[in-house]
Amino acid sequence: MQKTIKECNLCSACNDVCPVTTALKRETSSPRHKAKLIQEGKLALIFYQCSLCKACSDACPSKVPLDAIIQQEREKIIKKGVVPNAVAEMRENIRKTGFPLRKEGLVLVA
Ligand code: SF4
Ligand code: SF4
């Protein structure tokens, strides 16, 4: 059976492999911190500071599928009607052009 966030013991093994933590060097951006927020039932836009690369899940000694859990938390945020600016911009770009990334004046050739 798939493990849940309850089985995270906050060991922080995931922090060592997370590219976001490596780049930002902040505990508050780390997977361990995200796991703690999820255990506390808190929704936070910090869940968008994650590339869903799955490195945390692969490294987790407790086999917690943290990347999938973070994705589920994002779905909860969207269902509450909160859309981070970058996501709103990407959605608008897709609606207008069919592409997620669009710079003014840039012509994309499919
Ligand atoms: S998700 Fe896994 S590796 Fe990360 S803190 Fe929890 S138990 Fe440790
Ligand atoms: S899935 Fe997200 S939290 Fe996990 S290692 Fe990758 S960027 Fe970090």
Rounded to two decimals, the pTM is 0.87
Shared domain check, 43 and 13: yes
Letter string b/e over residues 74-107, b meaning 16 or more CB atoms within 10 A of that residue's CB: beebeeeeeeeeebeebeeeeeeeeeeebeeeee
CA 80/CA 99 separation, integer angstroms: 25
pLDDT tens per residue across span 12-40: 999 999 999 999 999 999 999 999 999 99
| 66: containing domain | 5-79
**For ligand 1, what atom is nearest to the CA of residue 32?**
5
Residue-level pLDDT at 49: 93
CA 88/CA 68 separation, integer angstroms: 21
Shared domain check, 88 and 74: no
Shared domain check, 39 and 72: yes
How far is ligand 1, taken at its centre, from the CA of residue 16, in Å? 11
Tally of structural domains, the chain: 2
Percent of the chain with pLDDT over 70: 92
Residue-level pLDDT at 72: 97
- The region, left, alpha or beta by phi > 0 then psi within -120 to 50, assigned to residue 43 is beta
How far is ligand 1, taken at its centre, from the CA of residue 36, in Å? 9
Shared domain check, 39 and 64: yes
Q: Whose CA is nearest to atom 8 of ligand 1?
A: 11
Shared domain check, 51 and 13: yes
